[in-house]
A and B are shown apart, each in its own frame.
Chain A
């Protein structure tokens, strides 16, 4: 009986350690462009699309390029592996996930935040009067 308990506890402890290591390894921190540029780790940065600067889909490399300003006002070029995401135009915030290198932020994922999809404001209601 005792041996069973010991084996079981070893398995559980090993699983917990394994889980904890995976958790720390894959945690993608929320940060700003400054930290992203210095750490070169995979991070998430929230910011706003700089609409008056050029944004384009480069068909040759299949990448979408745009400029984004983070919450601290730092502006960076973002290169995303893919097309312009759905809802990109109306997003009031953009979250890019990826690494900073060679002078731009290379995003593997983009999340668009569109509260307007769900929460209407006075302006929207006026349009439907």
Chain B
């Protein structure tokens, strides 16, 4: 109740704030700006109170609230308990709103010093009001008996065994029962990643709105150049934080989900990548504008687009529009939230691009002074290529919507689409990331350029040649790796020279070294990984791929739900013990598998448990027979001769009486051949199966499925279950562990590249903040 009041008051106070900012914008009044500030600060306090209320309810286990009941339970440790705050949709919107509010407070401080406050905060409060409106529509303070009135609302006397109840209307005898324990947090989310990853991701998501606000403020003030300088550190900050969030999400998936990868081109992943790509491309063109005043319209467009991408991504993943086409279950948030999400995209697109169009005529035309061999042009091309990649990914992710409009039913693209379309763009990006660093502003001396190109170009050609020599035959991959190596060599050379001069200026080169390492890591770990599924008999060493030998040592219970499987890994002279874990979760009522990873310098050995075959399991299998085909099974030859379905039985079936269908199998056991007939009986509509055994054998044949083919009877099929009870005793009494083992070469490059990239971003932020301070 209190929480709902807080968020409503915050919304009203925010409206007053934006109204006052608008009035200030019109009249330049000094009083109204004070009012606007106070109101925004009051809003911030209310939003924090709103979040604190939810945290309080979670920490004190108030299960009479649906949200608290749905995501937490009393046995969770405190950090995880706090993280259930954003485990659901309402909560993650709250987190987004909270960070947007806090960034707004900092932004107010920052912009008031730069005389940009009025316009920036006007736009910022509009954005925040959308988030608060979303929280009013979907707030996490719904009472549980309002969610489940049929099960929890009662009238009449209260039974003696009911301990947790509350009177709704004592006069009418109406009361509600509420749970004393929560449903708990999804076990897949129960690890420390859940505590840090969403926080970083939503900080990044919130800061993606900052360049948008600055761009709009610039348009409102008709300051087409100055805004870039003050927006720049924020843009880089957003890219750094969101980038960290994205890669941490990838590492989380790699480490705990057990499917063996860190990136799956899933809509949820793509939706955070898209704004990031647009943001990164705008960093490049902003840099060019700061230097030579060009790309004025490009920077407005990209900064606006970046935030529109945030909204569109949110729409894709939160509105339920993707429905069935992704691994993630997208909850339909209800009609109100759907239209609000869609409406917000339209509103901000109209505001952003509408204002840009109105101002575009009066913008001064900056004459193009740079040649094709200039850093400006390389930056523009780079930004353009990154945007193209973003466009391809947007189209791919929106595929269910596009195909629904064109063909009438939704279809997703295969992940191959993303690899195929981004690979050529990746080559261009890598080449530009190298050449761009060697070019001068305005124009470059061709001779100097060629001279500086000599060593990197020669080394990368040598590198590509080496790849071919070592058996890489995939030409696009060779080109991509060669181009990435080129970018790496150039940026190491250039970066070293800059770093010796002034380390602060090396941010760009270091970030590009990171990108080059990432690219090389992607190719090595994702394209040249080796995967093998093996069955490991307990105690018996089994040799698998790339000189690894695995021995399954046995398992032991870690707690009530989790079992650890000890596997000895032998590689060369070294031996390690790994322990992948299987967990039978009573929460999801299913088996979950957690991999274990052996991190070596040049590769990761990744082992994920698939299943355990106990010796007392029934030995059975189902075989599909095509008519006339001979199958060899356990030293027997089995042929599916025909169905046994006489006219008399057909008549019974038509008449609706009990009938049976048989399958004639010819079983040949060395010298002896005989025909057996398992049956399917239909007794009053209920189906039963009668197995058949060849004489002198314990093996049973049972019908699983009949697949007659009326057009072509020779193509008729039947699925038969073959069951050999006697073989149990013959099997040795050892357990078999089935695992998927894979080797991921040079995956460390991916993590190294990420760290380097972030380091480059941080150096750039420091430099740009100082720059924005210096020339006020």
Contact = CB atoms under 8 A, between A and B. Distances in A.
Contacts of B705: 53, 67, 75, 77
B414 interface: yes
Interface string A33-62: 000000000101010000001101111101
A59 B736 contact: yes
Contacts of A27: 399, 403, 411-414, 417
Contacts of A53: 704-705
A87 B331 contact: no
Interface of B is mostly: mixed
Contact of A28 (B179, B414, B420): B414
Nearest to A129: B179
Interface string B702-726: 0011010000000001010100000
B70 interface: yes
Contacts of A2: none
A59 B738 contact: yes
Interface of A: 15, 18-19, 22-23, 25-30, 42, 44, 46, 53-54, 56-60, 62, 65, 67, 75, 77, 82-84, 86-90, 93, 95, 102-104, 111, 113-120, 122, 124-126, 128-129
Main secondary structure of the interface of A (DSSP, over half): mixed
A53 B182 CA distance: 35
29 contacts: A23-B399, A25-B417, A27-B403, A28-B412, A30-B325, A44-B411, A56-B620, A56-B622, A62-B535, A67-B705, A77-B719, A83-B611, A83-B740, A86-B588, A86-B593, A90-B590, A93-B324, A103-B624, A103-B707, A115-B331, A117-B588, A119-B331, A120-B69, A125-B152, A126-B151, A128-B181, A128-B183, A129-B177, A129-B178
B727 interface: no
Interface residues of B, number: 68
B610 A83 contact: yes
A126 B337 CA distance: 28
A54 B703 CA distance: 11
B148 A65 contact: no
A103 B144 CA distance: 49
B535 A84 contact: no
Contacts of B416: 26
A22 B588 CA distance: 37
A42 B411 CA distance: 12
B107 interface: no
B186 A117 contact: yes
Given A46-B324, A86-B591, A18 B179 contact: no
Nearest to B184: A128
A86 B595 CA distance: 13
B58 to A, nearest CB: 16
Given A54-B622, A59-B736, A122-B148, A114 B421 contact: no
Given A30-B411, A58-B621, A62-B533, A125 B610 contact: no
B121 to A, nearest CB: 36
Contact of B417 (A23, A57, A59, A88): A23
Given A27-B399, A125-B152, A128-B183, A115 B620 contact: no
Given A86-B591, A88-B590, A102-B624, A128 B69 contact: yes
B589 interface: yes
B327 interface: yes
A44 B325 CA distance: 9
B331 A118 contact: yes
Contacts of B182: 128
Given A113-B324, A118-B88, A128-B181, 20 more contacts: A22-B417, A23-B399, A26-B413, A28-B412, A46-B324, A57-B610, A57-B611, A57-B613, A59-B535, A62-B740, A86-B590, A89-B589, A118-B331, A120-B69, A120-B70, A120-B183, A122-B148, A125-B144, A129-B177, A129-B179
A44 B620 contact: no
A23 B411 CA distance: 11
A58 B626 CA distance: 21
A82 B533 contact: yes
Contacts of A116: 588
B591 A77 contact: no
B395 interface: yes
A25 B411 CA distance: 12
Residue among B329, B420, B611 with the highest chain A CB neighbour number at 10 A = B329
A35 B115 CA distance: 64
Given A90-B588, A114-B588, A118-B331, A62 B717 contact: no
Given A19-B421, A86-B591, A125-B179, A103 B626 contact: yes
A53 to B, nearest CB: 6
B331 A128 contact: no
B150 interface: yes
A123 to B, nearest CB: 8
A23 B410 CA distance: 14
B665 to A, nearest CB: 16
Interface string B395-419: 1100100010000011111101100
A90 B589 contact: yes
Contacts of A23: 395-396, 399, 413, 417
Nearest to B592: A86
Contacts of A15: 388
B164 interface: yes
Contacts of B613: 57, 59
A48 B178 CA distance: 33
A124 B63 CA distance: 13
A26 B327 CA distance: 18
Nearest to B583: A86
Interface in B413-436: 413-414, 416-417, 420-421, 424
Contacts of B168: none
Given A60-B535, A103-B626, A129-B164, A84 B591 contact: yes
Nearest to B152: A125
A88 to B, nearest CB: 6
B624 A125 contact: no
A12 B761 CA distance: 30
Contacts of B158: none
Contacts of A95: 324
A77 B624 contact: yes
Nearest to B391: A19
Contact of B151 (A25, A104, A122): A122
Contacts of A125: 69, 144, 148, 151-152, 179
Nearest to A57: B611
